């Protein structure tokens, strides 16, 4: 009888150790978006998005496509909240683009200058 209870206890102990636990998976897009500027040459530009000013470089479109220079792109991306934004781009003090854009969460808007 003692052997029976010992075996029963051992079996119960082994079964309680087989739990799978609790796991949580969260998916979806980040609550931010990006804006990047491509041009015929790489050059510094001043960008105003909703009255916030940024100094970035326009990326040369053809070089990016050939070399896939992600680091250069990441350094020159402007992170914004999803939604509608007013964009104004200046090159050497001259306004070269005024546009209203809409970006979705997790997306990057590419603007060709």
**pLDDT tens digits for range 76-98:** 889 999 999 999 999 998 999 99
- Give the pLDDT of residue 52: 92
Is 67 a residue whose pLDDT tops 70? no
Q: Which domains does the chain have, with CATH numbers?
A: 31-112 (2.60.40)
- Would you state the pLDDT for residue 42? 85
Q: What is the pTM of this model?
A: 0.65
Burial of residue 63 (CB within 10 Å: 0-12, 13-18, 19+) is middle
The mean predicted confidence, pLDDT, of the chain is: 79
């Amino acid at each position: 009888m003692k052997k029976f209870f010992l075996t029963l206890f051992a079996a119960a102990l082994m079964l309680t150790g087989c739990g799978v636990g609790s796991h949580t998976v969260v998916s979806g897009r980040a609550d931010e978006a990006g804006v990047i500027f491509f041009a015929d040459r790489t050059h510094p530009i001043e960008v105003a998005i909703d009255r916030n000013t940024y100094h970035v470089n326009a990326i040369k479109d053809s070089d990016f496509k050939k070399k896939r220079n992600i680091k250069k792109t990441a350094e020159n991306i402007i992170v914004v909240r999803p939604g509608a934004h007013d964009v104004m781009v200046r090159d050497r003090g001259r306004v070269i683009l005024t546009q209203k854009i809409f970006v979705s969460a997790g997306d990057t808007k590419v603007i060709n200058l």
